[in-house]
């Protein structure tokens, strides 16, 4: 194009006899005016589309909130339209049966804790002293029975069996053997008391205690699931169940609308998509309050083209490809509603919105 312009200009400025002076002057003026107009359009075409006006709808994300457990609802503390905060209690299930199970589990847990503590502490000093006393008494009894047997044997030898019979000696010997066995048993018992409980017994008691603690934690979790808390700050859009209804994880109780942030979804024709950049300033005006301008900025530009949705108003044919653009809106006064049609005006970097 530039070479064509230069060639035509050389032709006008040359001494061509075929051109009369008047024709040459008029042609030169026409060329200059045409060149000026072309330069004006070339320089202004990139900004002539701004501010860019688009039509879209307000998009508000929602949370379908349900209980994590099944049961009968005994309390719902919010109504439709109420503003809730993060962590606020919204409802409660009947957990009386679980609370009774919790009391039983806690009692069993305390009993097992004491058993484990007893095993770890071992025998008391008084029990060890008592075992030592029994052992000394058994040894003394054994010593006496030994002396008695020796005396009977001595008498039997001196009297040639006439004063003491063989059966008496056998009975004394039996009593002595029983006493000696008793001493050995008491020695073993004292040794076990001094050693304390086996590590295997302590480990088994600890495992039982851990199982009871896990059961208590599980019951606590079930009871906690009976309380419905708001996961985010939002506004109650719908209340599906009432007090007395049976709830389960598949039945939403509330529909929460996330009031921050809000989005406006618009669709831009393919020839204009190159002019829109993330972070670009925008103004949003609703039909119900055209005098109020809500600020925003471009937050998302789709990388995939699609056919124009049926609910989008466009000056082009409906089969024209468009790109989705999402405008993040700072609606601190909560004036925009979900699905509300709005007008979005985009400004380039050099313009003030």
pLDDT digits (tens, 9 = 90+) for 180-209: 888 888 888 877 777 777 788 888 999 999
Average pLDDT taken over every residue of the chain: 80
Which pLDDT band, with edges at 50, 70 and 90, does 154 fall under?
A: confident
Predicted pLDDT of residue 39: 47
List, edge to edge, every strand of the sheet that includes 83-84.
62-65, 254-257, 234-239, 83-84
Dump pLDDT digits (tens) for 244-288: 999 999 999 999 988 778 888 888 887 888 888 888 888 898 888
- Report, as an integer, the average pLDDT of 340-353: 73
Half-sphere exposure of 120 (CA within 13 A, CB side): 10
- How far apart CA 348 and CA 353 sit, in angstroms, is 9
- Predicted structure pTM score: 0.58
Predicted pLDDT of residue 183: 85
Predicted pLDDT of residue 66: 95
Whats the size of the chain, residue-wise? 353
Predicted pLDDT of residue 2: 46
Dump pLDDT digits (tens) for 333-342: 778 888 888 8
- How far apart CA 81 and CA 235 sit, in angstroms, is 6
Q: What percent of the chain has pLDDT over 90?
A: 28
Given a contact cutoff of 8 angstroms between Cβ atoms, the answer to whether 93 and 244 are in contact is: no
Which pLDDT band, with edges at 50, 70 and 90, does 311 fall under?
A: low
Predicted pLDDT of residue 236: 92
Given a contact cutoff of 8 angstroms between Cβ atoms, the answer to whether 324 and 265 are in contact is: yes
List, edge to edge, every strand of the sheet that includes 71-76.
227-229, 89-93, 71-76, 246-247
Q: Which two tokens stand for residue 274?
A: 């190159």
């Amino acid at each position: 194009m530039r070479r064509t312009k230069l060639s035509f200009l050389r032709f006008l400025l040359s001494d061509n006899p075929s051109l009369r002076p008047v024709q040459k002057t008029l042609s030169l003026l026409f060329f200059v005016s045409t060149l000026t107009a072309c330069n004006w359009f070339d320089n202004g075409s990139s900004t002539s589309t701004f501010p860019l006006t688009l039509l879209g709808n307000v998009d508000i994300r929602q949370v379908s909130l349900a209980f994590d457990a099944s049961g009968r609802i005994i309390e719902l503390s919010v109504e439709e339209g109420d503003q809730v905060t993060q962590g606020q209690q919204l409802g409660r299930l009947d957990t009386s049966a679980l609370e009774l199970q919790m009391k039983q589990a806690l009692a069993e847990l305390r009993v097992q804790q004491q058993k484990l503590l007893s095993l770890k502490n071992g025998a008391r000093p008084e029990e060890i002293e008592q075992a030592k006393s029994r052992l000394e008494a058994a040894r003394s009894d054994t010593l006496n029975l030994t002396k008695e047997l020796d005396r009977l044997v001595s008498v039997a030898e001196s009297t040639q069996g006439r004063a003491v019979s063989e059966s008496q000696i056998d009975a004394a010997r039996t009593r002595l053997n029983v006493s000696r066995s008793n001493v050995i048993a008491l020695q073993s018992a004292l040794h076990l008391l001094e050693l304390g409980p086996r590590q295997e017994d302590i480990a088994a008691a600890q495992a039982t205690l851990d199982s009871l603690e896990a059961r208590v934690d599980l019951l606590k979790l079930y009871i906690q699931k009976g309380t419905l808390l708001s996961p985010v700050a939002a506004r109650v859009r719908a209340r599906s169940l009432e007090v007395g209804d049976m709830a389960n994880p598949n039945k939403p109780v509330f529909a929460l609308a996330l009031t921050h942030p809000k989005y406006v979804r618009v669709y831009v024709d393919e020839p204009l998509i190159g002019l829109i950049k993330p972070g670009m300033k925008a103004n949003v005006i609703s039909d119900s309050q055209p005098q109020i301008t809500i600020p925003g900025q471009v937050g998302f530009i789709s990388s995939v083209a699609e056919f124009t949705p049926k609910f989008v108003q466009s000056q082009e044919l409906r089969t024209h490809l468009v790109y989705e653009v999402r405008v993040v809106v700072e609606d601190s006064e909560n004036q925009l509603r979900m699905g509300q049609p709005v007008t979005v005006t985009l400004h380039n970097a050099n313009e003030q919105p």
